[in-house]
Amino acid sequence: MRKFIIDCDTAEDDVFSIYMLLRNGVELLGITVVGGNVDYNIELDNTLWALEFVGREDIPVFPGADRPLVKPFRSVPEVHGKGGLGKIEARPKRLRASTKHAMDAIIEASENFPGELEILAISPLTNLALALIKDRRLKERVKRVYVMGGTIYGRGNITPIAEYNIWVDPDAAKVVFSSGIPMTIVAWDLCTQYLVDGALWLKINSMGTKLSKLYIDMYSHYRDYALRVQNLKGHPHPDVLTTAVALDQSLITEGRNQFVDVENSEGLTRGATVIDHGGVDPFLWGKRDPNASVVYGVDSNKFFKMLIDLLSWF
């Protein structure tokens, strides 16, 4: 059985990423929480509540960094709603977060399952960076990290060229990207090619399952933001799509092994992902060996079948 840790800044897409992992039978060793989408304590409550909702109180939740390594940042409640879950106000009844820090939970899991641990990083990369800084050999024990972050075409969602997760903590992203840890990247502007359009939204709304009803309540706010502010023709699933790719590599229709770096200076280019697409002068640029597998295309039919299967779970 595959063994995962999921690193979240828990809003609606993080919740359904957790559920997709559970639906597909992996062993979820724990959930680590990092500052990002909404107020940090709300993120923790959202995570605990989400586990209670599906009766998985056995999965530990580890609090991590509530702010970036160095830089100031802001959360984005306007995107996800003040509570991060649209119409849902999460109030966990039984579960409490662990007293163990997220970075230590990541290190411990890698020691217990060397070469087996996979990390689904669908949030700012602060927790993972802290773990890599504390334990330099961590990279040798992790099988792969799946990162939802960055852009492949320079079309951002927090600035014109930067994606939110990388923008929040570009210093942490630089640590992770330069560490040598095996990594697959699913970028924001890739995800905007695979939208829940009006027809699929209506189909989900008519399903009548417990999870489909939860989905509509959770995503209504985000969907409105995507349509009204981001000028999209539906809402994307950046975290859930990354989760699907992590679960099933056959979803990838195009991927390239490339060198990816992060701009961590303050200013207009903060958080930009810089990809070596080839064709530059190696004398001027320097030799840059690939450090990531970058996804450029996925099988949309297969992905949406996975989404409908998840919402049919119960």
pLDDT, position 295: 98
Position 283 pLDDT exceeds 90: no
Percent of the chain with pLDDT over 90: 94
pLDDT, position 218: 96
Sign of the CA dihedral 38, 43, 46, 51? Answer: positive
Sign of the CA dihedral 161, 167, 171, 174? Answer: negative
Instruction: Give pLDDT tens digits for 140-177.
Output: 999 999 999 999 999 999 999 999 999 999 999 999 99
pLDDT, position 36: 96
CATH 3.90.245.10 fits 3-197+236-300, yes or no: yes
Break the chain into its structural domains and give their ranges: 3-197+236-300
| Confidence category of residue 65, pLDDT binned at 50, 70, 90 | very high
Instruction: Give pLDDT tens digits for 198-225.
Output: 999 999 999 999 999 999 999 999 999 9
Q: How far apart are CA 164 and CA 272, in angstroms?
A: 10
CB distance 302 to 250 below 8 Å: yes
| Confidence category of residue 286, pLDDT binned at 50, 70, 90 | confident
Question: If 0-12 CB within 10 Å is exposed, 13-18 middle and 19+ buried, where does residue 267 land?
Answer: exposed
Instruction: Give pLDDT tens digits for 227-282.
Output: 999 999 999 999 999 999 999 999 999 999 999 999 999 999 999 999 998 877 77
Specify the range with the lowest mean pLDDT, choosing from 10-19, 144-153, 164-173, 284-293. Answer: 284-293
Q: Which of 7, 19, 67 is nearest to 40 (CA)?
A: 67
Task: Give the Cα-Cα-Cα angle 204, 208, 213 (nearest 5 degrees).
Answer: 70
| Confidence category of residue 311, pLDDT binned at 50, 70, 90 | very high
| Confidence category of residue 196, pLDDT binned at 50, 70, 90 | very high
CB distance 64 to 169 below 8 Å: no
pLDDT, position 287: 73
What separation in angstroms does the CA of 129 have from each of 51, 93, 102, 119, 132? 26, 32, 11, 12, 5
